[in-house]
Copies of this chain bind each other. A is one copy, B any other.
Amino acid sequence: MNGQEEWHNSPIGVFDSGVGGLTVAREIMRQLPNERIVYFGDTARVPYGNKSKETVTRYSGQIVRFLETQQVKAIVVACNTASAYALEDLEKESDIPMIGVVKPGARAALATTANKKIGVVGTEATISSGIYSRYIEEHDADVSVVGKACPLFVPLVEEGLWEDPVTDEIARRYLTELIDSGIDTLILGCTHYPMLRSTVGKIMGEGVTLVNPAYETARELKALLSERGLESEHRPGLGTELYRFFVSDAADKFQRFANSILPYGILSAKVIRIDEY
C-alpha cells in the first residue's frame, strides 16, 4: 500500500465460518455502497459453534493472515463465535482495525431494553463464552442477561426450513425459558439467525424487540471508517470488482446459498487452502 490515498480504495475484509456472515456483508452493501468487500467463508471447517476456543482462535488467525494478503483496510469478524472466542487475540496480532458482531449487538440491546432484561440466542460456543452477558453487565450492572444455546437453528437454516412447523416446534422449546424470564429484548447472536427472524418474532410475541447485530455492525463499521479517514468516497468504477468471495471448500454450494440471500448475484467464489496461511 502506498499511503493514505490508496487505502481509501482498499476493500473491507469480512469473514465467517461459512455462509452466515453474508447477512453482515449484505448490511455493509446496503449501508456502505461505496465500499469494496473481500468475503471469506471457512466452508471446509464449518461450523465453529461447537468447537473449542483454541481451535476457533487458530482458524480465525489463519483467515486474518489471508485477508492481509488481500490488502484489506479493515476486518469485520462476521461470526459471533469467532467474535466471542478470538477477536481479542486477533487484535493483538494485526494492525488492521477490526470489528466484531458482539459489541455492536450488545450496545444496540442496551439502547433498546426498557425493563433491563435482555435475552441472547446463539451457538453453544457463543453462549458458553458468556461474552454478551459480560459486556452488557459491565456497561450497566442493573441489566440482567439470559442466554440460550440453540444448536439446531444453524442446520435448520442451512436445510432451508426458515418457516416450517418443525422450526416452530424447535424454536418454541428453545425460547420458552426466555419468554418465562420476562425479557423485552432478544439479541439474535448468530449470523444465521436473521433468517429465522419471523419464526422467532412470532414465538417471542410483540412485547419483545429482536436485535440483529448485522445491522448495528455495519453502522459501527461506517463510524470507524469515518473516524480514521478510511471511507471510500466514490463508488468504484465499472472496471473494478466490487465484491470478491473466497471459500475453503465447495464453492458451488456457497454460491447457491449466497445468491438466495444477497441483493447482487455472485458470479464466482474462489476456493483457497486456508490451513496454509
Contact = CB atoms under 8 A, between A and B. Distances in A.
Interface stretch (A49-57, A100-108, A232-240): A49-57
B155 A165 contact: no
A45 to B, nearest CB: 5
Contacts of A166: 166, 169-170
A159 B169 contact: no
Nearest to A252: B52
Given A44-B55, A51-B250, A55-B249, A169 B165 contact: yes
Number of copies: 2
A24 to B, nearest CB: 22
B55 A51 contact: no
Contacts of A275: 275
B159 A51 contact: no
A10 B248 CA distance: 36
Contact of A44 (B43, B45, B169, B253): B45
A176 B46 CA distance: 30
Interface of A: 43-46, 50-52, 54-55, 151-152, 154-156, 158-159, 165-166, 169-170, 248-250, 253, 275
Given A52-B250, A151-B158, 6 more contacts: A50-B253, A51-B249, A51-B250, A52-B249, A152-B159, A165-B169
Ranked nearest first, the 4 interchain pairs of A and B with the lowest CB-CB distance are: A155-B155, A55-B249, A52-B250, A275-B275
